[in-house]
Amino acid sequence: MSALHGKRIVVTGGAGFLGRHVCEALARYEPENVFVPRSAEYDLRDLASIRKLFDVARPHVIIHLAAVVGGIGANRENPGKYFYENAIMGIQLMEESRLHGIEKYIQAGTICAYPKFTPVPFKEDDLWNGYPEETNAPYGVAKKALIVQAQAYRQQYGMNAVSLLPVNLYGPWDNFDLNSSHVIPALIRKVLEAKEAKKAFIEAWGTGTASREFLFVRDAAEGIVIASDKYDEPDPVNLGSGYEISIRDLTYLICELCEFKGEVRWDPTKPDGQPRRCLDTTRARQKFGFVAGTSLRDGLVETIDWYRKQVMKQS
């Protein structure tokens, strides 16, 4: 029987982009219930709110997905906020989980925790071999500290705390706000709006030479839930697709899929961010059998279609 069967599970961030897919994936494990705290009622930066959450939900399992996050621009504008809020949420939630005797605690970290010049593909053992890329280091370091906390709590208190490292996510229900979104939703919105307005070009950040790996959100949710059920070890685990693409090639692929014929004008005064990102996903496959099932092209087609139907038709 599944370790999640009949359990009361709290999913922080469960109403968000990744969280809604995790909650859907949890249903087939037949938990007693899945409780999604909303920030208006349960502010995870506030200790009293966290204690109220435990009193109300009485969880056996915590899946901590809530984060304050954005793209390169948002990270540059909010380094202090991103460090403090991500750190304080995780630190207090894990401590209260320990005090309440939680059976299992699963947290989603970030690929931004890796050193700027990590050899590609990123192996989990390289996590401590340098400082993260500067534009998102405060966010990455805050999340990195929570891995240390999880391992320390396991060592001292025997707490079953697990850390996962999802690569850049994309898919339906993503954040398409150009001021805070990541690269795929930002490009989809720019390209579709340019096409609708019959513009001759779009502007893209940086040089396009940086590379990234992307994981479709339903695949990420599947990986998190499988790990929640089957993985009980201290070592952090990458969740990715294992496929690397340059931002330039990604941009032209999105233009192709959106049928935009205009020019792409690159703005080299804007930062590229980390030079390369591609994960070694061996540990996830070996430890709990996770392999991503959605190709980048298929995932982009679904995401573009969702944006056209859900956002553009309503605007």
Q: What is the largest CA-CA distance in the chain?
A: 61
- Residues constituting the chain: 315
Distances (CA, A) of 242 to 143, 211, 238, 278, 297: 22, 12, 10, 6, 14
Q: What is the DSSP track for 147-182?
A: HHHHHHHHHHH---EEEEEE-EEESTT----TTT--
Bridge partner list, 215 = 169
Q: What is the DSSP track for 62-73?
A: EEE-------HH
33 contact partners, CB below 8 Å, separation of at least 6:
8, 9
Contact 162, 150 (CB under 8 A): yes
125 contact partners, CB below 8 Å, separation of at least 6:
none
SS3 91: helix
72 contact partners, CB below 8 Å, separation of at least 6:
135, 136, 205, 270, 271, 273
Residues 139, 153, 170, 231: which is the catalytic one? 139
C-alpha 297/C-alpha 265 separation (Å) is 23
Active site residue 157: no
Contact 109, 165 (CB under 8 A): yes
Distances (CA, A) of 271 to 19, 223, 264: 29, 31, 17
Burial 185-197 (b: 16+ CB within 10 A, else e): bbbbbbbbebbee
Active site amino acids: 139
